[in-house]
């Protein structure tokens, strides 16, 4: 077997799941940032599965292998129905307010000063 075939197999088994997981999460974030609700007809994305642990602690044990990447994204599959139930009940994570426009401007100004 050629080295490229070995790499392809490794990539498909070990990297593609992460790429697909993050693409799904990114698309869900895009939808939520545009004001849409969580799509309860689709698989709950990883970020929301992990957020739902705030409500259902039975989700928590599955989080560590995901965030440490010692397990593939599928390590959240067993707890996705628990997260789905949390969101079906109406819970939503509180969005971080983030920095204000003025705070962002200050960060940019200080960074530009440091570059000069």
Q: Which domain holds residue 60?
A: 3-115
pLDDT, position 98 = 85
pLDDT, position 88 = 97
Task: Give the residue from 46, 116, 35 showing the smallest Cα distance to 83.
Answer: 46
CA dihedral (12, 16, 17, 22) in degrees, to 10, reads 180
pLDDT band for 116, please (50, 70, 90 cuts). confident
pLDDT, position 3 = 80
pLDDT band for 68, please (50, 70, 90 cuts). very high
pLDDT, position 4 = 79
Tell me if the pTM is above 0.85. no
* Residue 1: pLDDT over 80: no
For the chain, how many structural domains are there in total?
Answer: 1
Q: Cα–Cα distance between 64 and 92 in angstroms, integer?
A: 21
How many CB atoms are closer than 10 A to CB 83? 26
Q: Which residue has the tokens 């050629």?
A: 2
Report the percent of the chain where pLDDT is more than 70.
100
* Residue 96: pLDDT over 90: no
∠59-50-57 over CA atoms, to 5°? 30
Q: What 8-state DSSP symbol labels residue 39?
A: -
């Amino acid at each position: 077997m050629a080295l490229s075939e070995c790499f392809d197999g490794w990539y498909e088994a070990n990297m593609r799941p992460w790429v697909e997981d993050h693409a799904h999460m990114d698309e869900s974030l895009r939808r939520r940032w545009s004001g849409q609700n969580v799509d309860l007809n689709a698989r709950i994305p990883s970020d929301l599965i992990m957020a739902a642990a705030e409500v259902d602690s039975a989700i928590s044990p599955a989080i560590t292998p995901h965030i440490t990447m010692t397990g593939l994204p599928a390590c959240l599959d067993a707890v996705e129905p628990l997260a789905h139930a949390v969101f079906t009940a109406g819970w939503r994570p509180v969005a971080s307010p983030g920095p204000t426009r003025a705070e962002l401007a200050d960060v940019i100004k200080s960074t530009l000063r440091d570059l000069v």
